[in-house]
Chains A and B, each alone.
Chain A
Amino acid sequence: DQQVKQNSPSLSVQEGRISILNCDYTNSMFDYFLWYKKYPAEGPTFLISISSIKDKNEDGRFTVFLNKSAKHLSLHIVPSQPGDSAVYFCAAKYSGGSNYKLTFGKGTLLTVNP
């Protein structure tokens, strides 16, 4: 049972426009969410995170929104640049107990066209 879902395998946007990547989760115990960016044949790099006590976190061109009631989060990239083209993974965890496991979605391939 997939607990973190990224239902769009791919997304294509024009340079300068907004990219919106979506992520849904089913486990209501998750209380911390992260986005990673991954280029082919490289390891993922941490992008931005959000705690469940917040509904928005912003870092430069990247903003993550969290809607707890809908169990939905989204990553906004504004403005999108060709260098943003990569696979974006959403990840979630439950901070309680001693389990440090991150649960990842399957990823969304973002292509930013010049």
Chain B
Amino acid sequence: DGGITQSPKYLFRKEGQNVTLSCEQNLNHDAMYWYRQDPGQGLRLIYYSQIVNDFQKGDIAEGYSVSREKKESFPLTVTSAQKNPTAFYLCASSILALADTQYFGPGTRLTVL
């Protein structure tokens, strides 16, 4: 049963704490992405990675960090430097040669108290 999993579904953290969101895919996709969605807004790209051990900043990378040590995994760390971390975070993946079509995970709702 192939797909993209994100855990947990809901996450609560205190202000000033770093938190890491998990994203795993078993689709054998080369590229992975992290987006953020805020109410009434479209999806905004945080980071993306085309191959293992390589990643690029998206439009709103400040206050976030990522790693890509394995093809299947692309965790996102929301650091204390991110001014408005409360949001719905979406991970996606795609076949590199067909990067046009990205497939999304179920998302993680992060609330910083």
B contact patch SS? strand
CB contacts (< 8 Å) of A106 on chain B: these are 40-42
CA distance A105 to B44 in the complex (A): 10
Interface code A24-47, partner B: CB below 8 Å = 1, 0 otherwise? 000000001010100001111110
A-B contact count (CB 8 A): 58
CA distance A34 to B92 in the complex (A): 15
**CB <8 Å contact, B58 and A101:** yes
**CB <8 Å contact, A43 and B90:** yes
Assess A101 versus B48: contact at CB under 8 Å? Given A43-B90, A43-B106.
yes
Is B74 located at the chain interface by the 8 A CB criterion? no
Nearest chain-A residue to B41 (Cβ)? A106
Is A69 located at the chain interface by the 8 A CB criterion? no
Interface code B18-52, partner A: CB below 8 Å = 1, 0 otherwise? 00000000000001000000001111110010100
CB contacts (< 8 Å) of B50 on chain A: these are 98, 100
**CB <8 Å contact, B102 and A46:** yes
Assess A34 versus B100: contact at CB under 8 Å? Given A43-B90, A89-B43.
yes
Is A102 located at the chain interface by the 8 A CB criterion? yes
Assess A43 versus B105: contact at CB under 8 Å? Given A93-B100, A100-B48.
yes
Contact of A100 among B9, B88, B94, B107 (CB under 8 A): B94
**CB <8 Å contact, B107 and A9:** no
**CB <8 Å contact, B107 and A42:** yes
CA distance A42 to B50 in the complex (A): 24
CB contacts (< 8 Å) of A41 on chain B: these are 9, 88, 106-107, 109
Is A67 located at the chain interface by the 8 A CB criterion? no
CA distance A100 to B42 in the complex (A): 17
Contact of A105 among B6, B42, B105, B106 (CB under 8 A): B42
Is B64 located at the chain interface by the 8 A CB criterion? no
CB distance from B43 to the nearest CB of A (A): 4
4 shortest interchain CB distances as A-B pairs = A43-B104, A104-B42, A100-B99, A104-B43
Give 21 CB contacts A-B under 8 Å. Answer: A4-B42, A36-B104, A41-B107, A42-B107, A43-B4, A43-B104, A43-B105, A43-B107, A45-B104, A49-B101, A91-B43, A93-B99, A95-B100, A98-B50, A100-B31, A100-B48, A100-B96, A101-B58, A102-B43, A102-B45, A102-B102
